[in-house]
Amino acid sequence: MNDIMPLKPVRRSYSADFKAELVKASQQPGVSLAGLALRHGLNANLLRRWVREHEREGKHLATQSDTAMPFVAVSLPAPVSSHSCQLQMQGKDLQVTLSVPLHQLEQCSGLLLRLLR
C-alpha cells in the first residue's frame, strides 16, 4: 500500500499597502480590473473584492501622504462622559461635531468613512 499524502495548497497573503496600491490603480480612468489583476498575477474576482471592501468599509486605504484629505483638522477632546465620545472635525466649508456612545463607536466610524468619500 502506498501512503502518498497530497500537499495542501499554500494560501497567498498580500500586504495592506499592496492592496491599497492596486485599489488606487483600479480607480484610474480607463483601467480594466481584469487586466490589472492579470498583470499582477491575481484573480480578477480577488481584486474586485478588494475594491468592494474599500468602497464599503474603507479597507485598503492608501497612506495619508498618498491621499488628499477633505478635512483640514481633527480634534478629539476628552470624552463628554465616561459613556460617550465627542468628535469635532473642521474643514474649509464645514464643521461637524459628533457625540457617540462608546458602545457604538465602531459602527459610527464605518459610517463616517462612507460619508467622507
> At CA 57, angle to CA 69 and CA 109, rounded to 5?
70
- Please report the pLDDT score of residue 66 as a whole number: 47
- What is the per-residue pLDDT for 43? 92
For the chain, which ranges sit under pLDDT 50? 63-67, 69
Task: Give the burial class of 18: count Cβ atoms within 10 A of its Cβ; 0-12 exposed, 13-18 middle, 19 or more buried.
Answer: middle
Q: Structural domain tally of the chain?
A: 2
Give me the pLDDT at residue 38, please.
Answer: 92
44 membership: H or E segment, kind and range: helix 44-57
* Co-location of 56 and 97 in the same domain: no
Same domain, yes or no, for 21 and 61?
A: yes
pLDDT of residue 49: 92
Q: In the block, which residue shows the cell 498583470?
A: 39
- Report if residue 8 sits inside a domain: no
- Asked if the structure places residue 10 within a domain, the reply is no
Domain that holds residue 22: 16-65
- Does 3 reside within a domain? no
